[in-house]
């Protein structure tokens, strides 16, 4: 089992109305400098603590100091990390895939192939960012994935005439170091995307889903893969979830809520036609009930409790990579350091032991 | 006057033919590693020699290790150099401008403000990459410059509906690092672009064209700026040129002959209607190819050559391309070192500055 440390390079905005897009007027230079310093400290620490991957996302029109993980990966490639740098993920539906193929390959060169790349779709607001109709976004992502994989493999220049992208000449330089079909994962946050990944023989990431919903998606992925003639292993499935570990005797849930962690809504909530359709396909008729913090914070407690929660989720979903989201907004920074340290020192060894890896 | 060392991240010329696009199968990881190590070593020589910036190129479907200089610049941010990074010829043709504004903003923070950048329409081959006409590619440069200036100054989200770019909602994070100019250079290849740069309050980039034509381009820029009520200074204009410095003129001549330095070319050459119109606009009859390695010799000769060109064109920034792809590494490193230790101080002295020319 692999453990990924995930956090974003968020620059805490000045106080203001909570909305999207976040107004650039709320940018704070002092907070930006602190954010970069802390981000690098967290990644250095995560590497020393023995996390297998160091992961960061792509987001736009949100208070990120660096919203493009390619820049972060290019920078981090100089820091001599043992862990792999994970770009989770690149929002391929909104980018020019031919240009993205070059950039990813350049990063793969800079990291010496020590990186993984999530070819994802992003949040619903990302469709507005890129001015893409929601109905087109999945199709665009799938076409972009196909173009990317071809650009990395074709020895000669080729033309691409797709439904969403057209290029009369694609000749992608440099070449990536890795076999990219093994270095990428795609989203499986809906039945359609799980089927797409299975048909293409690609690894998947499932994120911001309850354990039950993720388990159904993973089962569907395995069924479709079997139909396509291959069998995914646990390492083909990444589960993305918020983690907060507190010392024994501390009420971790209350602490997480007090620190403002885990307030993102469940991605199956909401009454849009798309979300209702996904819930129906997964056999869920109602959005999740419960406290806001429950919805995104999956693994919360002392080391023993978190170990048990993750082990149970692993058995239900069958994932082999846990992408643990450790949020570190301003006041929660010290708590994040403590949480990730407890996780690395007390949760990871127990989980490795329980899966026979110790 | 200030100076940038131009470092193309080109792979290895020897294995490539004249064909374009370069086929990816000619790539080898071992060679790529060697080339990248050499590029870094030479950038460090330039940094120690007193250059203000390491400049990076952008070219696509060509044998480059980092076709997108923004990615490479993020890597350079961790090299611990005194010099900053200059991206004089960023292509905007196929780019998402909001993404470009975000990336440049982020890069400014990673480089602690040591960032300059310019926009260009790219080589003719790049127009094929993006599937654009040259005229459209040039128009996009102007629109992109205005977009960036606005994206970095608007306090609230805004919509953009231009001729070439549309976004119903733009909210760029982060805002630029203090001191990073939101007004890019426009690397002009036409009078219209130079005038638009002047009117818009942007900088002007001039690349390789004959001196007479460069002079007229710069004049057009300054006249347009003045008409718009804007003041310009030499530091608003960069000149990108090929250089080679040896210990003396005789050694430089020997290098030229032995390594066949210089490329014959002329960005104004060609008998298309557009190029004839461009030459007419610049009052340049010069349609012949010439040696693009214009400034070569001992330090004194190179300093004199650059000083003369600066007097005519009025540039205050030199973006210097060295001959690292053609001469052995030690000769190129000597050239970079001599430029920094002798040419830069000579030019600083001539322009009335004392002390560190690159400060």
For residue B103, list chain A residues with Cβ-Cβ distance below 8 A. Answer: 68, 71
Q: Which residue has the higher pLDDT, A287 or B131?
A: B131
State how far the Cα of A261 lies from the Cα of A258, in Å rounded to an integer.
8
- Residue B174, C-beta contacts closer than 8 angstroms, at least 6 positions apart: A11, A27, A32, A63, A64, A65, A66, B102, B105, B106, B109
Give which of B8, B93, B106 to mutate to test A binding, by max A Cβ within 10 Å: B106
Whether the Cβ atoms of residue B315 and residue B217 lie closer than 8 Å to each other: no
Q: For B166-182, what is each residue's pLDDT tens digit? A: 998 999 999 999 999 98
Q: What is the pLDDT of residue A263?
A: 59
Question: Mean per-residue pLDDT for B327-346?
Answer: 96
Q: For B254-265, what is each residue's pLDDT tens digit? A: 999 998 887 767
Whether the Cβ atoms of residue B100 and residue B68 lie closer than 8 Å to each other: no
Q: What is the pLDDT of residue B358?
A: 36
Secondary structure of B82-107 in the HEC alphabet?
Answer: CCEEEEEEEECCCCCHHHHHHHHHHH
State how far the Cα of A40 lies from the Cα of A78, in Å rounded to an integer.
12
State how far the Cα of B311 lies from the Cα of A234, in Å rounded to an integer.
68
A vs B, Cβ pairs < 8 A, gives: 176
Segment 139-168 of chain A within 8 Å of chain B by CB: 154-157, 166-168
Q: Do B178 and A103 touch (CB under 8 A)?
A: no
To the nearest whole number, what is the mean pLDDT of chain B? 88
Q: What is the pLDDT of residue B268?
A: 72
Q: What is the pTM of this model?
A: 0.92
Whether the Cβ atoms of residue B148 and residue B200 lie closer than 8 Å to each other: no
Name which of B263, B347, B339, B338 is nearest B306 in CA terms: B347
Give whole-number Cα distances, A256 to A14, A175, A208, B174, B265, in Å: 22, 44, 17, 27, 65
User: Given CB atoms, is A170 within the 8 Å cutoff of chain B?
Assistant: yes
User: Given CB atoms, is A63 within the 8 Å cutoff of chain B?
Assistant: yes
Residue A77 phi/psi, 5-degree rounding, is -60, -15
DSSP secondary structure letters along A97-116: HHHHHHHHHHHHHHTTT-EE
Whether the Cβ atoms of residue A128 and residue A134 lie closer than 8 Å to each other: no
Segment 173-232 of chain A within 8 Å of chain B by CB: 173-175, 177
Give whole-number Cα distances, B98 to B92, B145, B243, in Å: 11, 12, 35
Q: What is the pLDDT of residue B13?
A: 55
Q: Do B36 and A102 touch (CB under 8 A)?
A: no
Q: What is the pLDDT of residue B354?
A: 43
Q: Which residue has the higher pLDDT, A59 or B124?
A: A59
User: Given CB atoms, is A28 within the 8 Å cutoff of chain B?
Assistant: no
User: Which residue in B21, B64, B94 is closest to A99 by CB distance?
Assistant: B94
Q: Is the ipTM reported for this complex over the cut 0.95?
A: no
Q: Do A168 and B131 touch (CB under 8 A)?
A: yes
Question: Mean per-residue pLDDT for B106-121?
Answer: 96
User: Given CB atoms, is A130 within the 8 Å cutoff of chain B?
Assistant: yes
- Nearest-Cα distance to chain B for A34, in Å, is 11
- Residue A54, C-beta contacts closer than 8 angstroms, at least 6 positions apart: A4, A5, A43, A46, A47, A76, A81, A83, A84, A85, A86
Q: What is the pLDDT of residue A293?
A: 41
User: Which residues, in sequence order, are bridge partners of residue B290?
Assistant: B265
State how far the Cα of A300 lies from the Cα of A302, in Å rounded to an integer.
7
Query: Tens of pLDDT along chain A (358 residues)?
Result: 999 999 999 999 999 877 788 899 999 999 999 999 999 999 999 999 999 999 999 998 889 999 999 999 999 999 999 999 999 989 998 899 999 999 999 999 999 999 999 999 887 778 888 888 888 888 999 999 999 999 999 999 999 999 999 998 899 989 999 999 999 999 999 999 999 999 999 999 999 888 999 999 999 999 999 999 999 999 999 999 999 999 999 999 899 888 888 655 555 556 666 666 666 766 665 555 444 444 567 899 999 999 999 999 999 999 999 999 998 877 889 999 999 999 999 999 999 998 887 6
First to last CA, chain A: 10
State how far the Cα of A285 lies from the Cα of A299, in Å rounded to an integer.
24
């Amino acid at each position: 089992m692999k453990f990924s440390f995930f956090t974003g390079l968020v620059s805490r905005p000045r106080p203001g109305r909570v909305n999207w897009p976040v107004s650039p007027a709320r940018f704070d230079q002092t907070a930006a400098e602190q954010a970069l310093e802390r981000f690098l400290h967290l990644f250095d620490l995560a590497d020393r603590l023995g996390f297998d991957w160091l992961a960061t996302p792509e987001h736009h029109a949100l208070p990120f100091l660096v919203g493009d993980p390619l820049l972060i990966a290019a920078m981090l490639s100089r820091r001599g990390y043992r862990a792999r740098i994970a770009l989770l993920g690149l929002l391929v539906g909104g980018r020019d895939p031919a240009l993205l193929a070059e950039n990813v390959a350049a990063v793969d060169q800079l990291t010496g192939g020590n990186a993984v790349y999530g070819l994802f779709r992003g949040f619903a607001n990302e469709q507005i960012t890129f001015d893409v109709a929601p109905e087109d976004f999945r199709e665009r992502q799938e076409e972009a994935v196909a173009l990317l994989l071809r650009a990395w493999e074709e020895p000669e220049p080729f033309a691409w005439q797709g439904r969403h992208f057209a290029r009369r000449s694609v000749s992608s330089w440099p070449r990536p170091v890795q076999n990219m079909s093994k270095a990428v994962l795609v989203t499986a946050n809906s039945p359609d995307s799980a089927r797409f990944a299975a048909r293409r023989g690609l690894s998947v990431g499932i994120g911001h889903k309850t354990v039950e919903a993720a388990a159904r998606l993973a089962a569907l992925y395995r069924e479709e893969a079997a139909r396509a003639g291959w069998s995914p292993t646990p390492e083909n499935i990444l589960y993305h979830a918020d983690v907060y570990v507190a010392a024994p005797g501390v009420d971790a849930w209350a602490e997480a809520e007090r620190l403002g962690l885990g307030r993102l809504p469940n991605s199956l909530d909401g009454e849009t036609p798309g979300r209702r359709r996904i819930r129906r396909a997964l056999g869920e008729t109602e959005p999740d009930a419960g406290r806001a913090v429950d919805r995104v914070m999956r693994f919360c407690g002392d080391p023993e409790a978190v170990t048990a929660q993750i082990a149970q989720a692993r058995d239900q979903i069958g994932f082999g990579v846990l992408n643990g989201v450790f949020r570190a907004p301003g006041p929660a920074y010290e708590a994040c350091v403590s949480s990730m340290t407890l996780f690395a020192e007390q949760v990871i060894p127990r989980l490795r032991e329980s899966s026979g890896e110790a | 006057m200030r100076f940038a060392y131009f470092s193309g991240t080109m792979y290895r010329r020897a294995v490539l033919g004249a064909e374009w696009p370069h086929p990816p199968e000619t790539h080898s990881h071992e060679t790529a590693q060697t080339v990248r190590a050499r590029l870094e070593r030479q950038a460090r020589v330039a940094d120690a020699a007193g250059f203000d910036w390491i400049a990076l190129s952008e070219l696509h479907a060509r044998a480059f290790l980092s076709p997108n200089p923004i990615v490479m610049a993020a890597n350079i941010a961790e090299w611990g150099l005194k010099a900053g990074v200059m991206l004089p010829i960023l292509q905007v043709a196929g780019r998402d401008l909001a993404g470009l504004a975000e990336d440049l903003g982020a890069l400014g923070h990673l480089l602690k403000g040591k960032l300059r950048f310019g926009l260009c329409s790219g080589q003719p081959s790049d127009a094929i990459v993006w599937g654009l006409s040259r005229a459209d590619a040039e128009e996009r440069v102007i629109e992109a410059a205005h977009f960036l200036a606005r994206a970095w100054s608007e306090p609230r989200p805004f919509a953009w509906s231009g001729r070439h770019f549309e976004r119903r909602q733009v909210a760029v994070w982060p805002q630029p690092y203090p001191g990073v100019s939101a007004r890019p250079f426009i690397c002009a290849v036409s009078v219209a672009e130079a005038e638009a740069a002047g009117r818009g309050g942007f900088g002007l980039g001039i690349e390789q064209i004959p001196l007479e034509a460069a002079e007229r381009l710069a004049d057009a820029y300054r006249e347009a700026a003045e008409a718009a009520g804007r003041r310009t200074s030499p530091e608003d204009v960069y000149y990108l040129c090929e250089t080679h410095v040896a210990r003396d003129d005789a050694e430089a001549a020997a290098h030229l002959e032995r390594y066949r330095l210089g490329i014959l070319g002329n960005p104004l050459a060609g008998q298309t209607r557009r190029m004839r119109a461009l030459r007419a606009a610049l009052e340049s009859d010069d349609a012949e190819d010439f040696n693009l390695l214009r400034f070569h010799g001992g330090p004194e000769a190179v300093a004199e050559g650059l000083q003369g060109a600066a007097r005519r064109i009025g540039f205050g920034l030199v973006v210097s391309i060295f001959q690292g792809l053609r001469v052995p590494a030690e000769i190129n490193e000597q050239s970079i070192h001599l430029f920094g230790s002798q040419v830069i101080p000579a030019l600083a002295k001539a322009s009335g500055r004392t002390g560190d020319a690159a400060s």
